[in-house]
Amino acid sequence: MKQLEPDLWQTSRRELLDGVHSHAYLLTRPQGNLLIYSLGEDQQDDLDAIEQLGGVAMQVLSHRDETGPALCQIRDRFASRLGYHQADDHAIRGTAAADLFVGDDCADQQLQGIDVLHTPGHTPGSICLRYESPHGKSYLFTGDTIVPNSGGWATGVYPEIEGDAGALVESLSRLRDQTADLIISSAFGGQDGVVEITPDEWRDAVDQRIASLKMHFNC
């Protein structure tokens, strides 16, 4: 585990595909720690470190691609709750069913202070999470809605996971003004899934992805 901020920890890097990696993130909070995204089933050292940091009260998935055997490992070890958006339930519930469906209007003590944004397009149930840390920085967890990719940014629309380019354009338009000090994706290409960025740089990145989607998908 690597500490990024006083209340933010990053698990070890996990390879998903050739050149594509992922991290999960532990957000430590008085009302219970949040684990955002997920791990591989072989990341026992990370689970040991998470236990030393107070465990997990709730794990939140940004979308269906984060499903895997580790969901049950995490729940069993920490007696944690699992949250994700209902629109991806049909693709996740066979592995681990939700304790809470998470969306724009979600009111739950463990998510207090977290802005949940339903951002469909990459998958129907994709969400992003925005948090103003009491330690001074803001974090925007973008899942796979928009991800760093070797110095640039990428978006993905795949029919096999019910991707929808038009919905993704609308979601990115909504994210455009959700500026934050740190943009933190789930999957990523290149060296890291955490990018420190200015508001103008963020808007430019989102605008470029919107323009690319519109050009390639005529949406």
Alpha carbon 29 to its chain's center? 17
pLDDT value of residue 24 = 98
φ/ψ (deg, to 5) at 176 = -55, -40
Return the pLDDT at 130.
Answer: 98
DSSP bridge pairs for 27: 8, 34
3-state secondary structure of 90: helix
Distance of alpha carbon 114 from alpha carbon 143, whole angstroms: 15
Q: Model's pTM, two decimal places?
A: 0.97
Please, are residues 143 and 127 in contact by the beta-carbon 8 Å criterion? yes
Per-residue pLDDT at 213: 96
Which helix (DSSP H) or strand (DSSP E) does residue 209 occupy?
Answer: helix 199-217
Measured distance CA(165)–CA(175) in Å, rounded: 15
pLDDT values of the chain reduced to their tens digit, one per residue, 219 residues: 999 999 999 999 999 988 999 999 999 999 999 999 999 999 999 999 999 999 999 999 999 999 999 999 999 999 999 999 999 999 999 999 999 999 888 889 999 999 999 999 999 999 999 999 999 999 999 999 999 998 899 999 999 999 999 999 999 999 999 999 999 999 999 889 999 999 999 999 999 999 999 999 987
What are the DSSP E strand ranges found in the chain? 2-5, 8-10, 14-17, 20-22, 25-27, 34-36, 58-60, 81-84, 100-101, 114-118, 127-132, 138-143, 147-149, 152-154, 182-185, 187-189, 194-196
pLDDT value of residue 107: 84
Question: What pLDDT sits at residue 75?
Answer: 97
Burial class (CB in 10 A: 0-12, 13-18, 19+), 68: middle
Q: Burial of 101 by CB count in 10 Å (0-12 exposed, 13-18 middle, 19+ buried)?
A: middle
- Report residue 129 as tokens: 């999470």
Q: What pLDDT does 151 receive?
A: 87
